[in-house]
Amino acid sequence: MSWPGKIASQLIKSLFKKPATINYPAQKSGIAEGFRGKLKFDSKKCVGCKMCMRDCPTGAIEIRKIGDKEFEAEINLGKCIYCAQCVDSCFKKALETTEEFELAGLDPEKLKVVFNAKGDNARTDNDSKK
Ligand code: SF4
Ligand code: SF4
């Protein structure tokens, strides 16, 4: 068969096939097992050893002492490559990945998420400048 004939036959076949893609974001696909999304930090478990900071390949995580045996984590979601190395490095299991992945935004400052005892994003760099 000539190449225009091959293309025409592929075209006709694909007209009757179900699409391989979905109409995202109107339709959502399932999350694969082991998916690594936005990180979660539990300030109650953190002992401030900074192993997560040391092992992070992109410098996306910073652990700060904010009180007596009290630490907060700032994670720059724009720098994070979602490798979960910090999760593996944390012997206290204070870091976890979640299934949250819709994190895009126009303001890079808003990608710096602060986790502390008050919760996720309790204070951002932007807020502290106000
Ligand atoms: S490795 Fe775990 S315990 Fe150590 S500073 Fe990081 S989050 Fe805290
Ligand atoms: S998931 Fe990877 S890139 Fe993101 S903060 Fe942890 S170690 Fe760094």
DSSP notation for 53-109:
HHH-TT--EEEEEEETTEEEEEEETTT-----HHHHH-TT--EEE-S------S-GG
Rounded percentage of the chain residues whose pLDDT exceeds 90: 72
Does position 20 have pLDDT exceeding 90, yes or no? no
What integer pLDDT is reported at residue 122 of this predicted model?
52
Nearest atom in ligand 1 to the alpha carbon of residue 95 is 7
Q: Looking at the CA of 44, which ligand is closest? A: 1
Tokens of 94: 């204070």
- Alpha-carbon distance of 121 to 60, in angstroms, equals 15
CATH number of 36-129: 3.30.70.3270
Contact residues of ligand 1, CB 6 A cut-off: 46-52, 63, 89-90, 92, 94-95
Nearest CA among 112, 103, 117, 108 for reference residue 74 = 112
Protein residue whose Cα sits closest to atom 8 of ligand 1: 46
Does position 129 have pLDDT exceeding 50, yes or no? no
- Beta strand pairing call for 112-116 and 70-76: antiparallel
Domain assignments of the chain as residue spans, ordered by start: 36-129
Identify the DSSP state of 40: E
Does position 125 have pLDDT exceeding 50, yes or no? no
What integer pLDDT is reported at residue 105 of this predicted model?
87
Does position 115 have pLDDT exceeding 70, yes or no? yes
Nearest atom in ligand 2 to the alpha carbon of residue 39 is 1
Q: What is the pLDDT of residues 48-84, one digit of tens each?
A: 999 999 999 999 999 999 999 999 999 999 999 999 9
